[in-house]
């Protein structure tokens, strides 16, 4: 009997440790981009505008600017913010899950690392949505599908211009995006 209980507890501990180790990489993921930071941002912006489902650009943040203004040296980081009221509306109307507004707008981070390469970081909306019931899970699954389309690039097409906030974002501020969004 003691062996069974010990085995059960050991199993729980192992699963907990595995979950703890892999939680980060499950909730967020990172892929390498074949383009530079600006061009990756611009191609994502273009995809957001073309993917349909009510997606609009709601901002472009540069968190590195805030660090830079105080004399810091960080490699480029840019965050494309996009929103679809088609998806955000039902969540914002439901008091029980309204706190999920903290995840809005949808953010896609584009950054350079010390290896000189450009990476894209995104939240795993599909997995995260499953934790908050069927309505949110269903919406977030659709968001996840669209997110995948945001980062499909056609290298044969020339680089589109990056859509910059107006007025220019300073100190990490978002500025107005092209569509306003959420």
Partner 1 sequence: MAALVVAFNASALQVKPDIAAAQAAYNGKEANVSTADHSKFKELQKNFRTGPEVTQACLICHTEAARQVQHTKHWTWQSADPKTGQMRGKKNIINNYCTSVVSNEKDCMACHAGYGWKDQSFDFSVEKNVDCLVCHDTTGTYRKLPGYAGHPVYKRVEFPRGSGKFVEAVDLKKVAQNIGKPSRTNCGACHFFGGGANGAKHGDLDSSLQHPGKYLDVHMNEQGLNFSCTTCHATSSHQVSGSRYNVAAAVTGAASIRGKVDASPASCQSCHGNKPHPESMDRLNQHTEKIACQTCHIPEYARNDIGTELSWDWSKATTMDENGKRIVRKDSAGRRAFDSQKGEWKWESHVIPEYRWFNGDSVYKVIGDKIDPMQTVQLNVVGGSPDDPDSRIWPTKVHRGRQPYDTVNLTLTVQHTGGEDGTALWHNYDWQKAIGTGMKAAGIPYSGKFDFVDTELTWPITHMVAPKEDALTCVQCHSKNGRLKGVPGIYMPSRDGNQWLDMIGWTAALLTLLGVLAHGGIRILTSKKEG
Q: Site residues (CB under 8 A) for partner 1?
A: 36-39, 41-43, 68-69, 71-73, 75-76, 112, 114-116, 158-162
Of 83 and 162, which has the nearer Cβ to partner 1?
A: 162
Of 32 and 68, which has the nearer Cβ to partner 1?
A: 68
Measured from the CB of residue 161, what is the shortest distance to partner 1 in angstroms? 6
Measured from the CB of residue 157, what is the shortest distance to partner 1 in angstroms? 12
Q: What's the rounded Cα separation, in Å, for the pair 91 and 88?
A: 5
Beta bridge partners, 33, equal 118
Q: What's the rounded Cα separation, in Å, for the pair 57 and 153?
A: 17
Q: Report the DSSP pairing between strands 118-123 and 28-33.
A: antiparallel
Q: How many residues does the chain have?
A: 182
Q: What's the rounded Cα separation, in Å, for the pair 163 and 59?
A: 9
Contact in structure between 16 and 134 (CB atoms under 8 Å): no
Of 38 and 138, which has the nearer Cβ to partner 1?
A: 38
Measured from the CB of residue 9, what is the shortest distance to partner 1 in angstroms? 24
Measured from the CB of residue 77, what is the shortest distance to partner 1 in angstroms? 10
Of 144 and 159, which has the nearer Cβ to partner 1?
A: 159
């Amino acid at each position: 009997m003691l062996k069974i209980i010990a085995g059960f507890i050991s199993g729980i501990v192992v699963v907990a440790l595995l979950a703890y180790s892999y939680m980060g990489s499950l909730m967020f993921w990172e892929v390498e981009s074949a383009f530079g930071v600006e061009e990756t941002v611009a191609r994502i912006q273009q995809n957001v505008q073309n993917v349909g489902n009510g997606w609009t650009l709601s901002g472009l943040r540069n968190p590195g600017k805030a660090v830079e203004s105080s004399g810091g040296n960080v490699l480029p980081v840019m965050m494309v913010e996009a929103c679809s009221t088609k998806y955000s509306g039902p969540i914002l109307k439901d008091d029980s899950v309204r706190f999920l507004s903290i995840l809005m707008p949808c953010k896609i981070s584009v950054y350079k690392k010390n290896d000189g390469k450009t990476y894209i970081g995104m939240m795993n909306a599909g997995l995260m949505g499953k934790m908050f019931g069927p309505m949110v899970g269903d919406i977030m699954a659709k968001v996840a599908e669209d997110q995948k389309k945001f980062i499909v690039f056609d290298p044969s097409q020339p680089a589109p211009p990056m859509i910059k906030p107006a007025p220019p974002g300073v100190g990490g501020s978002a500025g107005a995006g092209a569509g306003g969004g959420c």
